[in-house]
């Protein structure tokens, strides 16, 4: 029968040339993990931060999930001066829920943003409108999303950390609430695309283009926002949080991204389909990156996250390529020196899979699976990695036409 081994060896060598540089980059990032700042813990306020924070929440038909946010903000102490909910003409009773909260806590108020100007995306426009309404007496602006659930002591912890470490902007990664089987399997794979592309939360980078941020909990000095013109630099971005954070970092201010799993929960999307559609539209971060960076990140993800789960089974499978009933692994054992490229490829991808499952254990505290059906699928999420990488590629190829109930021109 034909000897296909030279062809397979050549393919293995090509894959090694693609994967090895990406593996080196990934390893350099993971090795920073032991130096990262520990996760934020709830703190009590002190008199020096009295009334120093204005919170702005953009909403559009959020009645089904905003109540935990309103309750959580009410439990914040005197460091919170005001909560401005910027509602974009919701039709589901969102405004009425905020007005009911206002009767119990006068720090709440709801406003309606002006019609969306040309060139603006709805979320940054609402946040910009809210920022313009915040009190001049507040030192800090805190943008939060309607799907977040803040613990008591969140805001005090954010402000104390920012002051102690001299940050001008801090955002947090939350603890994600999972409920349904499909999202238990898919969501961690999508999250891993972020963890592989950027330094661990709690590591401050001096490269503005590598800054990571999360608009679900986005604390910034009010004076810094004034200096950069509010959200104008991210007005057309579908990942306005990262776009604005990188602009602020490039302007010379100190930006941090930290682990907030102990102080903040979030229920982002309902099920795997909504997770795929909604989060998948922006997780590529193309609006905050140039094309070279976007596709460089895709190369890295394909190399170290998407390919291993496909390569290893393929090269270990039995088949007729190396003789009936023979496997590549047994063939290599008899030809180890001649087939070094295949052997190295197998070892590299086995190591990448081990790292991937190790990362899964590392991010387990970032998930609340207490209400999840089929939560065991979380541990099989590495099998969804090729799909997650595919979603990043698909998103990078097109501009969103719909976002949170609004339609945008292509």
Would you give per-residue pLDDT tens digits along the chain (410 residues)? 455 667 777 888 899 999 999 999 999 999 998 999 999 999 999 999 999 999 999 999 999 999 999 999 999 999 999 999 999 999 999 999 999 999 999 999 999 998 899 999 999 999 999 999 999 999 999 999 999 999 999 999 999 999 999 999 999 999 999 999 999 999 999 999 999 999 999 999 989 999 999 999 999 999 999 999 999 999 999 999 999 999 999 999 999 999 999 999 999 999 999 999 888 888 999 999 999 999 999 999 999 999 999 987 776 654 444 444 455 555 555 555 456 787 888 889 999 999 999 999 999 999 999 999 999 999 999 999 999 999 999 999 988 777 666 777 65
| Angstrom distance (rounded) from CA 292 to CA 313 | 31
| Angstrom distance (rounded) from CA 132 to CA 164 | 27
Q: Where in the sequence of the chain do the CATH 3.90.550.10 domains occur?
A: 42-184+200-282
Residue 156 near residue 207 (C-beta atoms within 8 A): no
| Angstrom distance (rounded) from CA 330 to CA 327 | 5
pTM of the model: 0.91
For residue 220, the SS3 value is: strand
Task: Compute how many other C-beta atoms are within 10 angstroms of the C-beta atom of residue 323.
Answer: 12
Q: What pLDDT is attached to residue 114? A: 87
User: 42-184+200-282: which CATH topology?
Assistant: Spore Coat Polysaccharide Biosynthesis Protein SpsA; Chain A (3.90.550)
| Angstrom distance (rounded) from CA 218 to CA 241 | 8
């Amino acid at each position: 029968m034909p000897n296909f081994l030279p062809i397979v060896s050549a393919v293995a060598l090509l894959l090694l040339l693609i994967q090895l540089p990406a593996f080196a980059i990934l390893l350099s990032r993971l090795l920073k993990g032991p130096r990262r700042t520990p996760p934020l813990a709830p703190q009590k306020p002190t008199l020096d931060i009295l009334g120093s924070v204005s919170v702005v929440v953009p909403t559009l038909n959020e009645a089904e999930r905003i109540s935990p946010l309103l309750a959580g903000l009410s439990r914040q102490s005197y460091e919170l001066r005001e909560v401005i909910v910027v509602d974009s003409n919701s039709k589901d009773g969102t405004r009425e829920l905020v007005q009911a909260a206002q009767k119990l806590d006068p720090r709440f108020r709801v406003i309606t943003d002006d019609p969306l100007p040309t060139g603006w995306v709805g979320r940054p426009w609402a946040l910009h409108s809210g920022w313009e309404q915040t009190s001049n007496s507040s030192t800090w602006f805190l943008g939060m999303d309607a799907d977040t659930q803040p613990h008591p002591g969140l805001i005090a912890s954010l402000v104390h950390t920012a002051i102690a470490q001299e940050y001008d902007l801090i955002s947090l990664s939350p603890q994600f609430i999972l409920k349904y089987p499909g999202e238990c399997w898919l969501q961690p794979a999508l999250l891993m695309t972020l963890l592989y592309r950027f330094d661990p939360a709690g590591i401050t980078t001096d490269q503005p283009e590598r800054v990571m941020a999360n608009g679900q909990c986005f604390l910034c000095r009010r004076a810094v926002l004034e200096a950069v013109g509010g959200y104008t630099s991210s007005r057309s971005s579908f990942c306005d949080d990262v776009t604005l954070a990188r602009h602020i970092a490039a302007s010379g201010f100190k930006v941090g991204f930290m682990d907030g799993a102990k102080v903040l929960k979030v229920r982002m999307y309902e099920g795997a389909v909504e997770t795929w559609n909604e989060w998948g539209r922006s997780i590529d971060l193309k609006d905050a990156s140039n094309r070279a960076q976007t596709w460089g990140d895709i190369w890295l993800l394909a190399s170290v996250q998407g390919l291993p789960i496909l390569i290893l089974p393929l090269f270990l499978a039995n088949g007729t390529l190396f003789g009936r009933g023979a496997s590549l692994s047994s063939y290599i054992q008899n030809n180890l020196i001649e087939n070094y490229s295949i052997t190295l490829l197998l070892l590299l991808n086995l190591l990448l899979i081990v790292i991937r499952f190790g990362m899964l254990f590392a991010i387990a505290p970032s998930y609340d699976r207490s209400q999840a059906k089929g939560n065991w699928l979380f541990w099989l999420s590495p099998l969804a990695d090729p799909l997650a990488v595919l979603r990043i590629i698909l998103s990078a190829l097109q501009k969103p036409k719909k976002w949170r109930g609004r339609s945008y021109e292509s």
